[in-house]
Amino acid sequence: MSTARDAIFQAISTANGAPRDADTIAAEAMALIATPDVLRPGFTGQDNLDRFIEKATSERVTATVSHAATLAEVPGQVADYLTRVGLGAQIALQPRAALRDLDWGSVSVHHTVDANEPVAVSIADLAVAETGSVVFLSGPDAPVLLTFLPLHHVVVVGQGQIRRHLEDVFEFVGAGQASQPRNLNIVTGTSGTADIEAKNIRGAHGPRFMHIICVADL
């Protein structure tokens, strides 16, 4: 269809010679990552939860963490957080049934997200022990901007959702085009920048503060 496309493929074949068959290529590709453990940071002796918390609260990632037994405790913990950081009792809430159905008591809840939203609360689909990251899959009840516009982001993470390594996240999502949401956001702490004199500063464009509520039984 496009002449540029043809020309590029022609130039590649001039440089590379005839293409090999797809199965051979796939086998070679898989062999390159056949033993992922030798390619990634090991943390034997540390379970997923401990590692996740250690990384999430590290100097670089800067999240704070609290624990809850069940989802029902989340509204109370959010209210505590709001008081602690001196914010009004108003939150942008991810429009998921699991969160909507909770009793938010005195906290007033809305599902839109404003340019200067002070605080948003969402459930992470997954978390990563290796890096202390939380993962969001975009969808009808998971707007992407909820993760990026607010100044404070409160993230609910189910302990059972914590995966050991980044690869495990991708395994969960599934390889292949069909299973992919539009966005898979891997978020590791708060927005930062080192663009001025390489000094690390928090709250560049996205959240400056992240609080994680670890729920034992989601």
Please report, as residue ranges, which positions from 46 to 65 form the binding site for another protein (by CB under 8 A): 55, 60
The reply on whether position 188 binds another protein by CB under 8 A is yes
Nearest to 167 by CA among 125, 131, 212: 131
**Residues 214 and 159 sit within 8 Å (Cβ to Cβ):** yes
Question: What is the token pair recorded at 164?
Answer: 């050991």
Contacting range for another protein; rule: CB under 8 A; set: 4-12, 45-53, 75-83, 101-109: 4-12
Q: Which residue has the tokens 């400056």?
A: 208
Q: Does 97 bind another protein (CB under 8 A)?
A: no
Q: How many residues bind another protein (CB under 8 A)?
A: 80
20 binds another protein (CB under 8 A): yes
CB of 29 to another protein, least distance (A): 4
Out of 47, 70, 193, 217, name the contact with another protein by CB under 8 A.
193
Residue 197 within binding range of another protein, rule CB under 8 A: yes
By C-alpha distance, which of 99, 152, 88, 90 is closest to 122? 99
Decide: is 190 part of the binding site for another protein (CB under 8 A). yes
Residue by residue, DSSP assigns 3-22 as HHHHHHHHHHHHHH-SPPPH
